[in-house]
Structure 1
Amino acid sequence: MNTIALGKQLLLGLGLVAGGTASYAQFNETEADKFFEISKNLEIYTNVLKELNTFYVDPINPGKMTKTGLDAMLNELDPYTNFITEAEAEQFEMEFNGKYGGVGVVIRTDSNKNIVIAEVKEKSPFDKAGIKPGDILISIDGNMVKGRQEDEVGLLLKGAPGSKIKVSLKNPVTGKEMNKEVAREEILVPSVPYAGYVDNNKQIAYVLLSQFNPNCSKEVRKALDSLKTNANGELKGVVLDLRGNPGGLITEAVNICNLFVDKGQHIVSTKAKHKEWDKQYPTTNEAWDAKIPLTILINASSASASEIVSGALQDIDRAVVIGSKSFGKGLVQVVRPVGYNSRLKVTTAKYYIPSGRCIQALDYTHRNEDGTVAAVPDSLRKEFKTIAGRKVFDGGGIEPDIKIESEYYSLLSSKLMRDYLIFNYATEYYYAHPNISPAKDFKFSDAEYDEFQKWLSTKNFKYETKNEFILDALKKNAEEEKNFDRFKNEYNTLLTKINQEKKQDFINNKNEIKELLSSEIVTRYYYQKGQIENQLNNFNAAIKKAVALMTTEKSEYSKVLQK
């Protein structure tokens, strides 16, 4: 999470230390010792690097070696304190600001080391040029890309808005090659990729917030305003979906909360190494709607700013939180310039939500002997209270008020996705079907599923179950001990049974695989927005529960919040 830069340099606050001149002198002495150690070790490091550059038998790369050394040093701290090189700065800015100069695609590498277009952003330069998911990228400005790293190809595609790029591609179905000249544009990555209604009466607003970028609260408010205006009568509730949201700006987290609580409500505070760096974050504006029923969806990938929003609104009994326990990141980072356009993203504080709890799950200051970090044990988690007196706990993420555990894909489905067979079938399906039904209504049929299985049988698809892995390990051990023949018959019987069960997997996981195919196919016709709409309409237990709490189960909503 990023906040404002520190307002004071380290030594400016020394005169404010309580306890008189003794404390002042002790503080200065300690800091002087540290600065001497820093100066001494920097000189040693510089001398070692010079000696290596002069005398080492082979040529060295000083920049790469320095980066390796800095990364190793920072690994002793926490995973959020990072050195950002000049080469990485552009990517960092893109992720931070949600915009970049480019052509609006996501790429991947297939099994033949081809660079494949995995996704095309709606109305992007590549979309306008008629480039489709599945197309194989052959060259960029005459540079062949097969076998190159994806990040390297990504850099070739990016550039200043207005600059032109020449690309050669091949259609994956017909094999036809095509040449395109495309002008790069500023590509905006929206913080709100989807907003709509999740009930049949158009009275429950749904907003998906993917990250806390600058001005994301304005995007959310704009979406809510539109949903309120176009609702069938008065809105009866809001679902704010923070699942998979990794966080971002702490100020935007406060602004999001401010949409649902009035001016002057304390949301979060940060506590740093030095007290003068501590900061309080209250709401500063009038609410969008301080009364409307509100539910928030979270999961294990909801982190940082997502946990501020869900945790703060839980602490003040303003929203019902639904889903699974959040990630547990209670640390705040700032970005500091360190010269030559490089930066240091450094953890400077912990944050505390209204009940007084910090939800940081891992204690990086007390590592195990092997260097690993342990989670805060349940026995050490402290109890806090919401405004209404409900029990909440620190040290392990946000516990939802209503638990709906995240569902995980089966081994079969995971393998189909990992081998890009779902993706490849969707590509062929697109070229065979000029039109499909609207995104929210589209469902892959049973007859089409049978066709998919026939198609899959021509692709030499293989996957190994856990039982198969264990049985194979048993066989190898037995062969090493030269006693496999004693239970060879039993082994073959088990192997036959496992293979029968693998065939049954296509029946047991039929609905899941159909959902994946539906989702991927819809993307080809209706882009990311259509994919989200299809997923929401066809399968989402957490959203169904959220809608029920604000329509048919209002008494449960009030009971949870003790209102």
Structure 2
Amino acid sequence: MNRFLKSSRVKWISSMLIVMVVSVGLLGFNNDDKRNFSIIKNLDIFYTLFRELNSYYVDETNPEKLIKTGIDNMLESLDPYTTYIPEDDMEDFKFMTTGEYGGMGSLISKNGEYIVIAEPYEGFPAQKAGLKAGDKLLEVNGVHVVGKASSEVSELLKGAPNTPLKLKIDRPGTNKPLTIELIREKISINPVPYFGMVNDKTGIIILNNFTQNCSKEVEKALIDLKENQGAQSIILDLRANPGGLLDDAVKIVNLFVKKGSEVVSTRGKVKQWDKVYRATKEPVDTIIPLTVLISRGSASASEIVAGSLQDMDRAVLVGQRSFGKGLVQTTRNLSYNSKLKVTTAKYYIPSGRCIQAVDYSNRNEDGSVGLIPDSLISEFKTFGGRSVYDGGGVSPDVKVDITKYGNISFALVAQNMFFNFATDFCIKNKEISSAERFKITDAIFDNFKAFVASKEDFKYESATQDALKKLKQTAKREEYYEKSKAEFEQLEKLLKLDVQKDLNIFRKEISELLGAEIIKRYYYQKGAIKYSLQEDEELDKALEILSDPSKYNGILKGTVLSHAGDKRGIK
């Protein structure tokens, strides 16, 4: 480490001096000498601390790791969206913003000690080469991968387009390993995984994320539904969409509102981030009845689209209150091909409200953050005069309670029961009926129950058992447990799990999850979506509203009661 210090000390000192000088130059514009001195002082402390640590710490240290840890912890004290992106992570960052990467086009997951193919994307190299969900990866280009982490294997699978990839796999149902060779391609994931008609009058467009040019995909879907499939009303599904690029959010709103309409504005500490975003093109359709599906996982750009359309009384929102991310990030270039994604502003939708739900600027003494208090939540009005509120996400006009799954369903997913059963099912069944007609029959469900029963390592706790465990811990701390030990033991016996019984109790939700996993094996992602839309409460509610013009228009005009005017969207 001393060699490192001797060879790089001049570079370090020079770099730090440059940083200090630049800081003084930039901050001099603020004419705040005290603040400038504080920054220079603390940068000097940081440098000298780092120097002494490397010189005298008892064990060898990793300078890059130490600095990265320091940067990450510094940024974590601000908000979760201000992040440092080192050069090594640039490919992942590019994928998040563009939806593109070089590889074979498949999801992978950890299943025991193996990395398995979880879902090959239809039409991409993995699927075209014959890879199937459930295939276990043994080698990637000659590198043994059993026991490796998913992230390590993912890096081996990715690579420049037109480069070869040789995989050795263990396929369930075969006697010996298979070798599959393919050529990597530029993988571009369509942000609109599905659009189509859900009845004879209504079309649905599902948007998974706001990557570059996703607005073009939404526009193509909208035009196709209107002109080729006869859609007279539209459902835009933004459920669990985490957001992405603001520009594309504006363009999607523009499809449904007049040119020149204000969609969103941003305001920050630095005036250059104060900007008004307007619809700049002629819309596709400003009058077609429109509903937007949102959920707790709808965030950022999703909330701009949903909130703007709500503020302009252009769409009826159905579902649950959205996440509440009203912060805008800008990417700044750093040295050595790294970047800083920094929160620079808050966004405000047309009514004037900011839907940011968490107050990161005023932390509690323990460093935690909480929701913006009700006392600071303000009322705003949509263009038609309906009440809406800031500080708590976007509240739907029509609230649909979220489906709550039983603990057994979570355990079945987490322990790969659905996935592994579907793999066995496909070995025994070369084909099934269409995605729209496929059902989990009594025979299939009984086979699944037998499959779970055969797995001795399958374990789970019910919510009641979990509550009892916590009660026992509390009783022991307060010294009540020994006095009531017999009663606790009796209660434990009464609550002892019967897996087969619980499988029957939660059959409906288990069948839905199992069916979607099986359908994916035969009809890929589009098939799974078609299957899931058959049992969809939010979709059914949206269709009900669109089928009743008086109710649809009444909600938009405020003559029919909605939940948009409830603080935080709570009944």
- In the superposition, relative to structure 1, how do residues 294 and 476 fare at CA in structure 2: closer, same or farther (>3 Å)? closer
Partner residue in 2 for 1:505: 502
Secondary structure at the counterpart of residue 31 of structure 2:
helix
Query: How far 1:59 sits from its partner (Å)?
Result: 1.2
Whole-Å separation in 1 of the counterparts to 2:70 and 2:308: 39
Contact 2:23 2:36 in 1 (8 A): no
Whole-Å separation in 2 of the counterparts to 1:290 and 1:248: 24
- In the superposition, relative to structure 1, how do residues 458 and 247 fare at CA in structure 2: closer, same or farther (>3 Å)? same
Given residue 132 of structure 2, which amino acid in structure 1 is its aligned partner? K
Whole-Å separation in 2 of the counterparts to 1:411 and 1:394: 34
- In the superposition, relative to structure 1, how do residues 493 and 164 fare at CA in structure 2: closer, same or farther (>3 Å)? same
Whole-Å separation in 2 of the counterparts to 1:377 and 1:474: 31
Query: How far 1:46 sits from its partner (Å)?
Result: 2.5
When the two chains are superposed, the root-mean-square deviation of aligned CA atoms in Å is: 2.3
Whole-Å separation in 1 of the counterparts to 2:467 and 2:195: 46
Partner residue in 1 for 2:127: 127
Whole-Å separation in 2 of the counterparts to 1:143 and 1:251: 42
Percent identity (aligned): 47
> How does the TM-score come out when normalised to structure 1?
0.91
Partner residue in 1 for 2:514: 517
Partner residue in 2 for 1:295: 291
Whole-Å separation in 2 of the counterparts to 1:367 and 1:161: 46
Q: What are the within-5 Å matches in structure 2 for residues 164-563 of structure 1?
A: 164-199=164-199, 201=200, 203-231=201-229, 234-460=230-456, 461-472=458-469, 490-499=487-496, 503-537=500-534, 539-551=535-547, 553-562=548-557
Secondary structure at the counterpart of residue 211 of structure 1:
coil
> How does the TM-score come out when normalised to structure 2?
0.89
Whole-Å separation in 1 of the counterparts to 2:410 and 2:528: 19
Q: What are the within-5 Å matches in structure 2 for residues 75-94 of structure 1?
A: 75-94=76-95
Q: Could you give the per-residue CA deviations for residues 466-506 of structure 1, whole angstroms, max 9, x where no partner exists?
A: 33234456667888999978756544542332136654322
Contact 1:307 1:326 in 2 (8 A): yes
- In the superposition, relative to structure 1, how do residues 267 and 472 fare at CA in structure 2: closer, same or farther (>3 Å)? closer
Q: Could you give the per-residue CA deviations for residues 104-160 of structure 1, whole angstroms, max 9, x where no partner exists?
A: 11111123x211111111121111111111111011112111221211111110000
Contact 2:435 2:528 in 1 (8 A): yes
Q: What are the within-5 Å matches in structure 2 for residues 9-20 of structure 1?
A: none
Given residue 197 of structure 1, which amino acid in structure 2 is its aligned partner? M
Q: Which moved more, 1:140-149 or 1:78-87?
A: 140-149
Q: Could you give the per-residue CA deviations for residues 295-342 of structure 1, whole angstroms, max 9, x where no partner exists?
A: 000011101111111101100100000000000011100000111011
- In the superposition, relative to structure 1, how do residues 148 and 290 fare at CA in structure 2: closer, same or farther (>3 Å)? same
Partner residue in 1 for 2:17: none
- In the superposition, relative to structure 1, how do residues 75 and 508 fare at CA in structure 2: closer, same or farther (>3 Å)? same
Secondary structure at the counterpart of residue 339 of structure 1:
coil
Query: How far 1:356 sits from its partner (Å)?
Result: 0.5
- In the superposition, relative to structure 1, how do residues 519 and 45 fare at CA in structure 2: closer, same or farther (>3 Å)? same
Contact 2:245 2:301 in 1 (8 A): yes
- In the superposition, relative to structure 1, how do residues 47 and 284 fare at CA in structure 2: closer, same or farther (>3 Å)? same
Partner residue in 1 for 2:53: 52
Query: How far 1:225 sits from its partner (Å)?
Result: 1.6
Contact 1:134 1:424 in 2 (8 A): yes
Given residue 555 of structure 1, which amino acid in structure 2 is its aligned partner? S
Contact 2:24 2:36 in 1 (8 A): no
- In the superposition, relative to structure 1, how do residues 246 and 142 fare at CA in structure 2: closer, same or farther (>3 Å)? same
Query: How far 1:35 sits from its partner (Å)?
Result: 3.8
Secondary structure at the counterpart of residue 357 of structure 1:
coil
Contact 1:245 1:306 in 2 (8 A): yes
Q: Could you give the per-residue CA deviations for residues 490-535 of structure 1, whole angstroms, max 9, x where no partner exists?
A: 4454233213665432222101101111000000001111111110
Contact 2:400 2:537 in 1 (8 A): yes
- In the superposition, relative to structure 1, how do residues 291 and 475 fare at CA in structure 2: closer, same or farther (>3 Å)? closer
Q: Could you give the per-residue CA deviations for residues 375-410 of structure 1, whole angstroms, max 9, x where no partner exists?
A: 012232100001110000000000100001221221
Secondary structure at the counterpart of residue 137 of structure 2:
strand
Partner residue in 1 for 2:99: 98
Which structure 1 segments of 5+ residues have no match?
1-8, 15-24
Query: How far 1:447 sits from its partner (Å)?
Result: 2.0
Secondary structure at the counterpart of residue 453 of structure 1:
helix
Given residue 555 of structure 2, which amino acid in structure 1 is its aligned partner? V
Query: How far 1:240 sits from its partner (Å)?
Result: 0.2
Q: Could you give the per-residue CA deviations for residues 520-562 of structure 1, whole angstroms, max 9, x where no partner exists?
A: 000000111111111012x1011111112122x2211010001
Secondary structure at the counterpart of residue 555 of structure 2:
helix
Whole-Å separation in 2 of the counterparts to 1:405 and 1:516: 19
Query: How far 1:52 sits from its partner (Å)?
Result: 2.5
Query: How far 1:48 sits from its partner (Å)?
Result: 2.4
Whole-Å separation in 1 of the counterparts to 2:98 and 2:53: 40
- In the superposition, relative to structure 1, how do residues 47 and 105 fare at CA in structure 2: closer, same or farther (>3 Å)? same
Q: Which moved more, 1:63-72 or 1:402-411?
A: 402-411
Whole-Å separation in 1 of the counterparts to 2:95 and 2:519: 27
Whole-Å separation in 2 of the counterparts to 1:11 and 1:307: 39
Given residue 371 of structure 2, which amino acid in structure 1 is its aligned partner? A
Query: How far 1:278 sits from its partner (Å)?
Result: 0.7
Given residue 42 of structure 2, which amino acid in structure 1 is its aligned partner? N
Partner residue in 2 for 1:4: none
Secondary structure at the counterpart of residue 440 of structure 2:
coil
Whole-Å separation in 1 of the counterparts to 2:491 and 2:247: 59
Contact 2:449 2:500 in 1 (8 A): no
Partner residue in 2 for 1:68: 69
Given residue 559 of structure 1, which amino acid in structure 2 is its aligned partner? G
Contact 1:13 1:276 in 2 (8 A): no
Whole-Å separation in 2 of the counterparts to 1:386 and 1:10: 44
Contact 1:236 1:550 in 2 (8 A): no
Secondary structure at the counterpart of residue 499 of structure 1:
coil
Which structure 2 segments of 5+ residues have no match?
1-21, 559-571
Whole-Å separation in 1 of the counterparts to 2:278 and 2:53: 53
Given residue 115 of structure 2, which amino acid in structure 1 is its aligned partner? I
